[in-house]
Amino acid sequence: MSLHLKKNWPGYFLAAPAVFAILALSIYPLFRGIWMSFLNYNLVRAGDPAFNTFAGLSNYKEIFQDEIFLKAIINTIKWTILNLLVQLTIAMLLALVLNHNLRGKSVFRTLSLIPWAVPHSIAAMTFTFLYNANVGIINIIAVKLGIFSESISFLGNIDTAFWSVIVVSIWKGIPFQMIFILAALQGIPGDLYESAQMDGAGSWQQFWHITMPIIKQPVAISTILNLIGIVSCFNTIWLMTEGGPLYSTEIVYTYAYRRGFIDHNFGTASAASVILFLFMMLFSMVYLRLVRDNHQ
Amino acid sequence: MGKKLLRLGISSAVLAAVLAGCGNSGSADSATSSAATSAPSETSATQEASSNTNTELTVMVTNDWIDPATPAGEAMAEAIELFESQNPGVTVTLQGAASTDIKESFQTAALAGGGADIITTDNSGHAIDLAAMGLLVPLENFTTDEELIQKYQPGPLDSGKFQGKYYSLPWYMNCCGMYYNADRLDELGIAVPTDWQSLQDALKQVKDAGYGGIITYQSAYAFYAFFYQNGCKVIDTSGEKPAVTVNDAAGTEAWNYICSLIENDYLVESFKEATSWDKAYESFGNGDATFLFGGDWCASGIQKANPDLNFGIACMPQGKEQATVLGGWTWNINANSKHPEIAYDFITFMCSEQADPVLAPGGRHSARLDWDIQKALEGNETLLPLAEQFSYTMARPAIINEKAIDKIIVNALLEVEYGQQTPDEALAELTQNLQDNIDSNYN
C-alpha cells in the first residue's frame, strides 16, 4: 500500500459509501443506458430470439426516420432558445431593478423567488386550471373583455399549446437566473459607477461598459446551468399536455419517455436519450470551460 | 486529472438523469426467463398447497381499495379477513398505486425480478402488455379454458387473452353509455337519441340553440363503440397476427360518421383538452356539453362536478347493430410469485360470490355470468341502461401496446378536428400507423 493510501485511508473509507452509491445509481445506469441504445430491447418482444442482442445503429436509424423524433428535435431547439432568451432578458431587468435601493426591496426579492420554489407539478396543475376552456380565469376575463368571442382551449390547440406551456417554464425559470445576476450585481463596487458618472457616462454606458463586463462570466455560468434544466424539462410538459396535441409540445425528453414507457421499446428510448445527452454534454463542456476560465 | 474527473462526474450525472428508467430495466431478460419457466410443476403445486403456513401474499390494487375508512376499502379489508380465515397461515398484504400508473409500478418491480404476487389491471390491454413481457402466469396452469368460458362474460375474459392463453381473471366490468342533460333536452323538445341518425339530428338542434354537443375523455374508448356498432373490429385479433380492419367498408362508414360529428363541431371545444375524465365531467357538469360518453364511474364524477345537474343515462345510440365498448378490471398473477397456487386461490375467491360485497360500494358489476344485474342495481336504477348493454359489450382489441394504439386513433381524430387532414387522408394514415405499430410488435 502506498504511503498516500496509508496516510489517507480513513478519508477513503468514509467516502466509500457515497462512491459506491454514485457508481450504482449513476455510473451503472449511465453505461447501461448507452449500451442499451445499441440493443434490440423491445420489452413486449421479450420472447423474440433477437431480444437483447446487438442491434448496431438500428435504433438510431429508426428514431431518425421517425417524423415525430425530428419534430421533437426542432421543438427542443425552439423550446431551449426561447426559454433562454426570454428568461435571461426578464431576469436581467428584474435583477437590475431589485439591485436598486427600493422601499420593500427584500419583500420584492422574496416574492420574485416564489415561482422557483413552487414544485413543477403544482405549477403545471395551476396553469392547466388557469388555461381551462370552461372555468379558466384567462378565458373568462378574455371573453368578458371581448378579446375572444368564445373560450379557447389553450392546451388543446396545436397553435397555442406550445406557447402556453413555455410560459410556465419561463415563469418558473426566471428566479434561478435572476438570483445569479443579482448576486453578481451586488459584487460590483459602487465607486466604479461614481467615477463613471463623474466622467459623464450615462446609464446605458455604465451598464454596457461596467456592469456587463463584470457580470458576464457569472451570467454565462448560470445560463449554462439553466440550459441543462430547460432541455431536460419533462414534468411541466408531460403534466400539461403529454407532448400533445399532435406532438406540438413533444421534446426529445418526452419522446424518449414515450418510446420507453408507452411503446416499451427501451432500445429506441435509450437512443433518443443518448442524443439528448449529447446536447447536454455540449452545454456541460461549455460550462466547465467557463468555470476553468473563471478560476484562471 | 482533477478536471477530467470533474468532467466525467458532471457528464455522468447528466446522462444518468436523462437515462433514468432506461437503464433500470436490465433484468427484463431474467424476468422473461423466469416467466418462461413459471409454470409450476405438479409436485411444487402440491407441496405449496400443503404448506400454507406463514405464506404472505402481496396484492397490488388501486388506491381506492386501500383505505379501510372508505366503504370500498372497508369491504376489501373484510373480504381479505374472510379469505385469511378460510386459509390459515396465509396473510394478504395490500399495496396501493394510482390507477394511472399501477401497470408501470408493477412492471418496473416485476422486470427487476420482484413485484407483488397479484396485480389488478385495467382490462384495456394492460394484461396483454405484461403477458407479452413474460411477467404474468397463464391461467392454464390452474384451470381450463372451458371452465373460464363457462364462468365469465366473454368480453372481459378475452381482454386478458394473449397468443391463445388466458392471463387474467375478470373481476368487474362496465361499459360506455350516453349521459345526457335531461333539462336541456326537455327545454328543446328533443327525445333521447337512440340511433346514429337521431343523435346527429339532436346534435344539430342543440348546436342551433347555441349549446355544445358531445364531450368524452380524449381517448379512443368511446369511439370504438361506433366501429363496433357498424360491425368493424378496428383490429382483428382472432388470427396469429392482428390485422387492421379499420379501413374496411364497415370501418370506413363508421369513421366517416365520427368525422361528420367532428366536422360539424358537435364535439365541444373542451374535448381538445379532456385528457382526464375530470375535465369531461366538468364540461358536462357546467352545461358546456349536452352529451357525455362514458362508463358507470362517470355518474359520481358528474354529481361531484355539479350536484344540481339533472342528467339521464341511456344506451349508446345504435348503428347497424347494438354495441358498446368494455371497461373494467381484472386479476393477474406475477410470474415471479413464489406462491402462484395460493395467489390463484385468492383471485378466484375475489371473483366469487363470497367477495361480491367488495363490489357493492361503487355499484360495480361482477364479470361472472351468474351475476344478477337487477339485484345489484336495486336502489340505483338510473344506471340500469348501462348494465343492459353488457350482453353486447365488446372489449377493445386485445393487442400489445394498446395505449399506443389508442394514441394513434386519437391523433387521427385530432388531425380531422384541427383541419390538418381530410377524413380520407386521416383514415389512410391511421391504417398505416396501426399496421406499423403491429409490425413492430409482432413477428
In chain A, domain spans: 61-295
Among chain B residues, the shortest Cα distance to A159 is held by B418
Q: Measured between beta carbons, which residues in chain B are less than 8 angstroms from residue A44?
A: 129, 132-133, 400-401, 441
DSSP conformation class of A261: I
Per-residue pLDDT of A87-115, as tens digits, reads 999 999 999 998 888 788 888 888 888 99
Helices B402-417 and B221-229, axial angle in degrees (round to 10):
80
Q: Measured between beta carbons, which residues in chain B are less than 8 angstroms from residue A43?
A: 25, 28, 111, 132-133
Q: Measured between beta carbons, which residues in chain A are less than 8 angstroms from residue B29?
A: 46, 51-52
Amino acid A208: pLDDT: 87
What is residue B64's three-state secondary structure?
helix
Q: What are phi and psi of B235, to 5 degrees?
A: -135, 125
List of E strands, B176-253: 177-181, 212-216, 235-236, 243-244
Amino acid B47: pLDDT: 46
Amino acid B32: pLDDT: 39
Amino acid B7: pLDDT: 52
Question: From the CA of B206, how many Å to the nearest CA of chain A?
Answer: 17
Does A78 score more than 70 pLDDT?
Answer: yes
DSSP string covering A162-219, please? HHHHHHHHHHHHHHHHHHHHHHHHHTS-HHHHHHHHHTT--HHHHIIIIIHHHHHHHH
As beta bridge partners, residue B173 has B328, B365
A:45-104 residues touching chain B, CB 8 A cutoff: 45-48, 51-52
Amino acid B53: pLDDT: 64
Domain range B175-326+396-441, CATH architecture: 3-Layer(aba) Sandwich (3.40)
Contact between chains at A284 and B14 (C-beta distance less than 8 A): yes
Does B21 score more than 50 pLDDT?
Answer: no
Distance CA B116, CA B106 (A): 7
For chain B, the domains span: 53-173+327-386, 175-326+396-441
Question: Which residue, among B215, B229, B217, has the nearest Cα to B292 in the 3D structure?
Answer: B215
Distance from the Cα of residue B17 to its chain's centroid:
32
DSSP string covering B346-383, please? HHHHHTSGGGGGGTTTTT-EE-BTT--HHHHTTT-GGG
List of E strands, B138-176: 161-162, 165-166, 169-175
Whether residue A248 contacts residue B421, with contact meaning beta carbons closer than 8 Å, is answered with no
Say which residue the cell 427600493 belongs to.
Answer: A102
| C-alpha cell read off for A27 | 455510473
Mutation to test the B interface, candidates A65, A134, A150, A282, most B Cβ within 10 Å:
A134
Kindly state whether B111 is in contact with chain A, defined as any CB-CB distance less than 8 angstroms.
yes
**Rounded alpha-carbon distances, angstroms, from residue B7 to A21, A108, A157, A282, A291:** 19, 37, 42, 11, 11
| Residues in Cβ contact with B273 at an 8 Å cutoff, skipping those fewer than 6 apart | A131, A132, A133, A153, A154, A155, A156, B218, B279
Kindly state whether A30 is in contact with chain B, defined as any CB-CB distance less than 8 angstroms.
yes
Per-residue pLDDT of B347-382, as tens digits, reads 999 999 999 999 988 788 999 999 888 777 777 778
Mutation to test the B interface, candidates A31, A38, A43, A234, most B Cβ within 10 Å:
A43
What is residue B3's three-state secondary structure?
helix
Whether residue B299 contacts residue B386, with contact meaning beta carbons closer than 8 Å, is answered with no
Residue type, A71: K
The count of CB pairs under 8 A between chains A and B is: 174
Distance CA B149, CA B47 (A): 29
DSSP conformation class of A54: B
Kindly state whether B132 is in contact with chain A, defined as any CB-CB distance less than 8 angstroms.
yes
Output the CATH code of domain B53-173+327-386.
3.40.190.10
Once rounded to an integer, what is the mean pLDDT over residues B3-19?
47
Amino acid A7: pLDDT: 81
Does B41 score more than 50 pLDDT?
Answer: no
Q: Measured between beta carbons, which residues in chain A are less than 8 angstroms from residue B288?
A: 134
Q: Measured between beta carbons, which residues in chain B are less than 8 angstroms from residue A265?
A: 440
Signed CA dihedral, B271, B252, B125, B322: sign only: positive
Distance CA B254, CA B329 (A): 28
Signed CA dihedral, A244, A247, A252, A255: sign only: positive
Whether residue B329 contacts residue B156, with contact meaning beta carbons closer than 8 Å, is answered with no
Mutation to test the B interface, candidates A158, A235, A266, A293, most B Cβ within 10 Å:
A266
DSSP conformation class of B315: P
Output the CATH code of domain A61-295.
1.10.3720.10
Does B146 score more than 80 pLDDT?
Answer: yes
Among the partner-chain residues A46, A133, A242, the one whose CB lies closest to the CB of B28 is A46
Amino acid B51: pLDDT: 53
